[in-house]
């Protein structure tokens, strides 16, 4: 009851003296941080996020906090359990750190270089495209399609990446092109 009396005495519902001393003693985790804007990576409500980072002395970027953006007409600062834990998706010890390769019939992954995988995949694309490319169909129609390679993905792409993927895959002549909308 004594506490309640003290709060009532301040007229503000909290004790100014305590609040001020707390402000002096604590500094916000995000004090001085760089503030940037993102969008939640999960569902398609499209909640806006505010992300706070700081450059560390060894030159890396430390992600301090992700929270709902109060300015957004979509979420007005709110986030669900997924959005609220987005930091654990952003920074994860479970990430694949380098390109991995499993040869036909092999029983394990091998860490390899980017040059190794890009070279092999480019050669695979060329070989499969040449093996399955149809320039003219049985009715004599020009169709210029590659039947033996498929590309699927994109629900996590930025839109511009998605457009770019479409452009490149159609450029290769792919007809099997798919993303998450159907499934």
Partner 1 sequence: MVSLAATFGRGAMTNHWRDIRHADLILINGANPAEAHPVGFQWFMRAKLDRGAKIIHADPRFTRTSAVADMYLRIRTGSDVAYFGGLINHVLQNNLFHDAYVRNYTNASFIVKQGYAFNDGLFSGYNPDGRTYNIATWSYESDSATGFARRDMTLQDPLSVFQLMKTHYSRYTPEVVSSITGIPVADFNKVADLVGQMGKPDKVMTIVYAVGLTHHTTGGQLIRSGAVLQLLLGNMGRPGGGMNAERGHANIQGNTDHAISWEILPGYLRIPAPGQKTIADYVAQSAPKKSDKNSWNFFGTNYSKFMVSTLKAWYGDAAKKDNEFAFNFVPKPAQNSSWMSIYDQALKGKMEGLMLSGMTAASIGPDSNQVQSALGKLKWLVIMDALPTTSSEFWRSPGADPSQIKTEVFMLPATHWIEKDGSFVNSGRWSQWKDQVLPPQGQARHDHWILAELFQRVKKLYQSQGGKFPDPILTLTFDYKDPLKPELDEIAREINGKDLTTGKQMTTFANLKDDGTTTTGDWIYTGSYPDSGNLMKRRGGIQDPKTNDPTGMGFYPNWSWSWPLNRRVMYNRASADLDGKAWDPSRPGITWDGSKWVGDVPDYPATMNPHDPNAYLPFIMNGEGVGRLFSNGMVDGPFPEHYEPVESPVANPLHPNNSASPVAFLYDKAAGRPNRFGTPQEFPYIATSYRLTEHEHYVTQHVPHLVQLQPKPFVEIPYELAGQKGIKSGDRVRVSSKRGKVEVLALVTKRLGPMTVAGQKVYQIGIPIHWGYVGISADSDPSHGRYWLANALTPFVGDANARTPEFKAFLVNLEKM
**Under the criterion CB under 8 A, does residue 57 sit at the interface with partner 1?**
no
**Under the criterion CB under 8 A, does residue 176 sit at the interface with partner 1?**
yes
* Under 8 Å between Cβ of 49 and 68: yes
Q: Which is nearer to partner 1, 7 or 89 (CB)?
A: 89
* Residues in region 144-163 near partner 1 by CB under 8 A: 144-163
Q: What is the edge-to-edge ordering of all strands in the sheet holding 48-55?
A: 34-39, 48-55, 61-68
Instruction: Report how far residue 127's alpha carbon sits from residue 102's, in angstroms, rounded to the nearest whole number.
Output: 19
Residues for the chain: how many in total? 183
Q: Which residues, listed in sequence order, are joined to residue 165 by a DSSP beta bridge? A: none
**Under the criterion CB under 8 A, does residue 61 sit at the interface with partner 1?**
yes
Instruction: Report how far residue 156's alpha carbon sits from residue 162's, in angstroms, rounded to the nearest whole number.
Output: 9
Q: Which is nearer to partner 1, 26 or 92 (CB)?
A: 92
Q: At its nearest, how many Å lie between partner 1 and the CB of residue 67?
A: 13
Q: At its nearest, how many Å lie between partner 1 and the CB of residue 50?
A: 10
* Under 8 Å between Cβ of 98 and 87: no
* Residues in region 8-27 near partner 1 by CB under 8 A: none
DSSP H or E stretch at residue 62: strand 61-68
Q: Which is nearer to partner 1, 30 or 173 (CB)?
A: 173
Residue with tokens 């390899």, as numbered in its chain: 112
Binding mask 97-116 for partner 1 (x = CB under 8 A): xxxxxxxxxxxxx----x--
Q: Which is nearer to partner 1, 7 or 172 (CB)?
A: 172
Q: At its nearest, how many Å lie between partner 1 and the CB of residue 180?
A: 5
């Amino acid at each position: 009851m004594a506490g309640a009396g003290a709060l009532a005495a301040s007229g503000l519902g909290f004790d100014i003296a305590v609040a001020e001393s707390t402000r002096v003693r604590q500094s916000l985790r995000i004090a001085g941080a760089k503030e940037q804007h993102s969008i939640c990576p999960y569902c398609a409500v499209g909640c806006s996020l505010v992300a706070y980072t700081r450059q560390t002395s060894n030159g890396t970027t430390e992600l301090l906090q992700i929270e709902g953006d109060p300015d957004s007409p979509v979420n007005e600062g709110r986030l669900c359990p997924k959005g609220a834990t987005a930091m654990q998706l952003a920074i994860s010890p479970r990430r694949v750190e380098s390109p991995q390769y499993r040869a036909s019939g092999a029983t394990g992954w091998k860490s390899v270089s980017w040059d190794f995988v890009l070279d092999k995949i480019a050669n695979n694309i060329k070989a499969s495209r040449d093996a399955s490319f149809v320039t003219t169909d049985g009715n004599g129609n020009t169709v210029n399609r590659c039947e033996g390679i498929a590309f699927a993905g994109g629900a996590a792409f930025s839109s511009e990446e998605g457009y770019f993927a479409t452009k490149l895959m159609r450029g290769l002549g792919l007809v099997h092109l798919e993303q998450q909308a159907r499934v």
